[in-house]
Amino acid sequence: MLVETFNPFNNILISSLVAAIPIILFLLCLTIFKMKGLYAALLNLGVTFLIAMLIFDLPFGESVGSVIQGALQGMWPIGYIIVMAVWLYKISVESGKFDILRASIAGISQDQRLQLLLIGFCFNAFLEGAAGFGVPIAICAVLLVSLGFKPLQAAMLCLIANGASGAFGAIGIPVAITGTLNLEGNVTSMDVSMMTALTLPIINFSIPFLLIFLLNGLKGVKEILPAILVVASTYTVTQALITIFLGPELADIIPSLLTMGVLALFLRKWQPKNIFLLNNQEVKIEKHSVGEIIRAWSPFYLLSIFVLVWSIPAFKALFLEGGALNFTIVKLAIPGSSLFSSFNLVSATGTAILLAGITTILTTKSIGFPAGFKLLKKTVLEFWIPIMMISAILGIAKLMTHAGLTTVLGEAVATTGSIFPLVSPILGWIGVFMTGSVVNNNTLFAPIQATAANIIGTDPALLVSANTAGGVMAKLISPQSIAIATAAVGQTGKEALLTKMTLKYSFGLLAFVCVWTFLLSLMF
């Protein structure tokens, strides 16, 4: 916070209502006014800039610096990650690997409800755990479209499915980061991880049912109930055990791979009596050898391997102060302000994905570097508008943080006293809606949650986990997620429609987390 006070009106209620204007306006722009995402983001950026500078007294230089800092972060590392992930996907398509990969999944069952469970739920969760930052939504939505799903339908289903894995994205960083914040009550990341097992399993178990219901109604749920139970129970139980005994790092990766494998084996013995096909059109499946299938999946194996290496503590230590590769971190002071931006040239997750793409080209005869670089150029041209939108959103987030708008919102919610646990997840929802990141959300609001918990006498780990769970529910409609999803399926400009499609599910899941957290607070 770069202002003298986060309460310019000397009244928490009035100050928080003014601070909430960017959030409310964003929702109105995307739902009621049906504006394109980029225009909504730019309008809100202007409004937030004026509120931060004129009402919260953020100096002009710091206001401009906040926008620049957010814009740069939108391009690096977030835009970098998105472009690299989609580029890797395009390499897979151009080389012919993607057709074999798709056939390997579709070949397990022609029933597209089961394909949704395999791709939209299991593979989605795996990519969330391995890379995060929009990668699973971008890749899985495109996969579903290639199998006959409607573009916005595929995007919506992938966004909802991501609610089962978003808390532990990118090697569990959203939860792991809480252990670095020195939270009041000596809350550790393991404490938070264990506490998530009281809430997230209920959501995780229900989402596969919800996905099939949205695709094919109650009829579909009944017809493939055994498969849904296999997916829901395997994923839920495995993730709960890992979060309790091992921690957050592998809480998406192991459960998703195990669930995919168990479902594939189960479907060898069981198939639904009625095969559900979208538009009654059967997807033609070519048979391939085991070796071809293994090679076809190699871009994603490589993605996982590189991202896992990038997440190893010993590797991360190379980039710390005094580390052998610390020189690869470029720090840029933003003129006219006290702010700066860092560019992690090597340690960025996007670089890990870049290496996966380069390795794929080197090990694939059917594509070379000239074709690969043409695909990279094409990807950049396709995604510059969504990246601009994301940069504007992060500019808003930085303005709200540095001007104290997020702080006063947090303080306002914390004044609710004994019913604070009921509204605690809403803080997390707000944090992710504005930043698109559960990591940023926990960085912003976990300290407030822990402090409030100690004041009202409840377990601080419970409220920090509620902050995480509430935040995950906002990923379904955060402008950043919506921008990535619409761009991936070629529907840029239809962000308002996709937001409308997912909004009620975000609110419904948030309402459950709020009520459930309040009930848990009575026991802890």
Q: pLDDT tens digits, residue range 369-428?
A: 999 999 999 989 887 887 888 788 778 878 988 898 877 877 787 777 788 899 899 988
Residues, the chain? 524
pLDDT digits (tens, 9 = 90+) for 107-154: 788 899 999 999 999 989 988 887 676 778 888 898 898 888 999 999
- Chain CA centroid to CA 467, Å: 15
Cis? peptide before 248, omega within 30° of 0? no
Please give the pLDDT value at position 282: 64
Please give the pLDDT value at position 41: 85
Domain range enclosing 279: 12-521
Coil/strand/helix, residue 137: helix
Nearest CA-CA partner of 45 in 349, 496, 390: 390
Residue-wise over 439-454: b if at least 16 C-beta within 10 A, else e? bbbbbbbbbbbbbbbb
Query: How far apart are alpha carbons 206 and 65 in whole angstroms?
Result: 43
Q: Is residue 3 part of a domain?
A: no
Cα angle, residue 407 at apex, residues 433 and 425 outer, rounded to 5°: 45
- Which pair of tokens denotes residue 196? 């998530």
Number of domains into which the chain is organized: 1
- Which pair of tokens denotes residue 170? 């990118």
Q: Is residue 155 part of a domain?
A: yes
Residue 148: Cβ within 10 Å count:
16
Q: Is residue 6 part of a domain?
A: no
pLDDT at 100 over 70: yes
Nearest CA-CA partner of 376 in 142, 148, 85: 85
pLDDT at 1 over 70: no
Query: How far apart are alpha carbons 390 and 40 in whole angstroms?
Result: 11
Q: What is the 3-state secondary structure (H, E, C) of 387-417?
A: HHHHHHHHHHHHHHHHCCHHHHHHHHHHCCH
Q: Is residue 2 part of a domain?
A: no
- Between 103-107, 113-117, 264-268, the lowest mean confidence (pLDDT) is in 103-107
Q: Is residue 509 part of a domain?
A: yes
The single-letter code of the amino acid at 457 is: G
- Provide, rounded to the nearest whole percent, the portion of the chain with pLDDT above 70: 96
Query: How far apart are alpha carbons 415 and 418 in whole angstroms?
Result: 9
Backbone φ, ψ for residue 522 (5° rounding): -75, -15
- Considering the entire predicted model, what is its pTM? 0.74
**Residue 93, exposed/middle/buried by CB under 10 A (0-12, 13-18, 19+)?**
middle
- Between 44-48, 143-147, 261-265, 421-425, the lowest mean confidence (pLDDT) is in 143-147
Please give the pLDDT value at position 283: 61
Query: How far apart are alpha carbons 403 and 414 in whole angstroms?
Result: 19
On whether the CB atoms of residues 494 and 486 are closer than 8 A, the answer is yes
On whether the CB atoms of residues 73 and 435 are closer than 8 A, the answer is no
Residue 434, CA distances (Å) to 42, 336, 440 in order: 14, 25, 10
Residue 425, CA distances (Å) to 186, 398, 473, 511 in order: 21, 21, 9, 9
Nearest CA-CA partner of 392 in 3, 48, 25: 48
On whether the CB atoms of residues 131 and 81 are closer than 8 A, the answer is yes
Query: How far apart are alpha carbons 422 and 519 in whole angstroms?
Result: 8
On whether the CB atoms of residues 168 and 132 are closer than 8 A, the answer is no
Q: Is residue 387 part of a domain?
A: yes
Q: Is residue 5 part of a domain?
A: no
On whether the CB atoms of residues 94 and 371 are closer than 8 A, the answer is yes
Please give the pLDDT value at position 180: 64
**Residue at token pair 């919800």:** 210
Nearest CA-CA partner of 86 in 347, 333, 266, 299: 299
**Residue at token pair 């309790």:** 244
Highest average pLDDT, of 108-112, 127-131, 201-205, 478-482, comes from: 201-205
Cα angle, residue 255 at apex, residues 253 and 260 outer, rounded to 5°: 95
Category of 217 on φ-ψ map: left (φ > 0), alpha (ψ -120 to 50) or beta: left
Radius of gyration, alpha carbons of the chain: 22
pLDDT digits (tens, 9 = 90+) for 353-364: 899 999 999 999
Query: How far apart are alpha carbons 514 and 504 in whole angstroms?
Result: 15
Q: Is residue 188 part of a domain?
A: yes
On whether the CB atoms of residues 467 and 427 are closer than 8 A, the answer is yes
